[in-house]
């Protein structure tokens, strides 16, 4: 009798994907490459805007596609588009080619948004190992950080020899991703009988509105991601504000990533001891407190405190994802997770200009001080979540 494939393989493939998909050699020099191709900072900003708009437009439809037509099929299409996008980027010589790349790249990101999580959670559900989700998600976070660190360091050296080299050498890694996507096994989950993406998205939205726990988690996520991501992208300005030499920026970034590795690895153990809700609340309070204290002490102490922020954020992320997944039925999982990712992006679009505006009018320290206080206050949403 033919032996049925074991869905446990999906976990191993997720580990491989977490590392290789973040081993992107060109990320440290992508903006510089764009500028060399188009010779305009305005056009570079426009390219990134096209990516953001495309991601928002396709976020929910791609999540619904994964729920209706399968996780594996969606991730295979995502991997195929990744190969096309990176190859196209490596040979781009004008603005139009970069626009095409941005569209394909954003579409492939939307296909993976929510689907990766859904594939892992449903795999563990089928294996009867849902309780391991946070632990495995923590390991995936660790591999993500390690891949990003290795890719960034290696990519910088590659670009010093030839600016297109990191782009060209990333193409074989995308092929590895394509191969591993074909090796995935579709986990069992209840699917809708119909195949209407619009209808499925509408039904998922009604489920969201009727679930108080989900609404609270969505609101927390909107504010948390929007504020945290905005401060993260302005950290280099803070470093300049406290007179850190540019030569040390990379070392500080690497140290923050290592803190992220530590937080990801410890997240499951800490939450197991203190509980999900308590750990998530405490991690976010400490996240905001570190930013607030950094604006008080400034100097190298302030930089150290911002580095430590990475530890607390990495503790909270697997727990927040776990709390979301436990509230969602498998047949709506990818769609509702995509809605959450969409809301996160909206949060960033709202808070990034506001935080930047405060920094322009007053100072980056004042902007960060307000952000730190807000991060501590938004934990109020979590106090209304029931323990399960």
Domains, the chain, ordered by start:
9-188 (1.20.1250.20), 203-384 (1.20.1250.20)
- Model confidence at 1: pLDDT above 50: no
pLDDT at 183: 93
pLDDT at 2: 45
Q: Which residues contact 47 (CB under 8 A, 6 or more apart)?
A: 34, 38, 95, 98, 99, 102
CB 346 within 8 A of CB 330: no
How much is the average pLDDT of 123-135? Answer: 86
Under the banding of pLDDT at 50, 70 and 90, the label for residue 246 is: low
pTM of the predicted structure, to 2 decimals: 0.77
pLDDT at 288: 93
CB 55 within 8 A of CB 346: no
CB 279 within 8 A of CB 311: no
pLDDT at 250: 65
How much is the average pLDDT of 288-300? Answer: 91
How much is the average pLDDT of 317-333? Answer: 83
Q: Which of these ranges, 92-96, 153-157, 260-264, has the smallest mean pLDDT?
A: 153-157
How much is the average pLDDT of 265-285? Answer: 88
pLDDT tens digits along 15-25: 999 898 888 88
- Model confidence at 90: pLDDT above 70: yes
pLDDT at 373: 94
Whose tokens are 């976020």? That residue is: 59
pLDDT at 345: 80
CB 93 within 8 A of CB 37: yes
- Percent pLDDT > 70 in the chain is 96
Q: Which of 364, 371, 149 is nearest to 244 (CA)?
A: 364
Q: Which of these ranges, 56-60, 177-181, 330-334, 364-368, has the smallest mean pLDDT?
A: 330-334
- Model confidence at 44: pLDDT above 80: no
How much is the average pLDDT of 267-291? Answer: 90
How much is the average pLDDT of 239-255? Answer: 75
């Amino acid at each position: 009798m033919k032996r049925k494939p074991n869905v446990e393989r999906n976990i191993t493939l997720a580990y491989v994907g977490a590392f290789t998909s973040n081993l992107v050699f060109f990320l440290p020099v992508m903006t510089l490459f764009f500028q060399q191709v188009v010779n305009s900072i305005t056009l570079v900003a426009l390219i990134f805007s096209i990516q953001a708009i495309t991601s928002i437009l396709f976020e929910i439809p791609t999540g619904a596609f994964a729920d209706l037509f399968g996780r594996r099929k969606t991730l295979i299409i995502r991997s195929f588009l990744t190969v096309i996008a990176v190859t196209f980027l490596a040979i781009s010589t004008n603005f139009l080619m970069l626009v095409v790349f941005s569209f394909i790249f954003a579409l492939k990101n939307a296909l993976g948004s929510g689907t990766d999580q859904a594939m892992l959670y449903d795999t563990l559900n089928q294996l009867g190992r849902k309780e391991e989700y946070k632990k495995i998600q923590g390991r995936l976070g660790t591999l993500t950080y390690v891949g990003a660190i290795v890719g960034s360091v290696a990519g910088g050296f590659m670009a010093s020899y030839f600016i297109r080299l990191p782009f060209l050498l990333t193409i074989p890694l995308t092929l590895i991703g394509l191969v591993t996507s074909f090796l995935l096994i579709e986990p069992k989950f209840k699917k809708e009988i119909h195949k209407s993406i619009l209808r499925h998205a509408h039904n998922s939205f009604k489920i969201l509105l009727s679930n108080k726990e989900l609404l609270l988690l969505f609101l927390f996520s909107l504010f948390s991601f929007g504020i945290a991501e905005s401060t993260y992208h302005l950290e280099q300005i803070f470093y300049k504000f406290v007179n850190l030499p540019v030569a040390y920026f990379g070392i500080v970034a690497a140290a923050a990533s290592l803190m992220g590795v530590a937080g990801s690895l410890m997240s499951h153990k800490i939450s197991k001891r203190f509980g999900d809700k308590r750990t998530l609340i405490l991690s976010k309070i400490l996240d905001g407190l570190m930013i607030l204290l950094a604006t008080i002490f400034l100097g190298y102490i302030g930089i150290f405190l911002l580095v430590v922020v990475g530890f607390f954020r990495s503790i909270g992320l697997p727990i927040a994802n776990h709390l979301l997944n436990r509230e969602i039925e498998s047949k709506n999982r990818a769609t509702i997770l995509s809605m959450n990712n969409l809301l996160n992006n909206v949060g960033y679009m709202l808070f990034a200009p506001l935080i930047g505006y405060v920094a322009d009018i007053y100072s980056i320290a004042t902007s960060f001080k307000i952000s730190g206080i807000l991060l501590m206050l938004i934990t109020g949403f979590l106090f209304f979540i029931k323990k399960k």
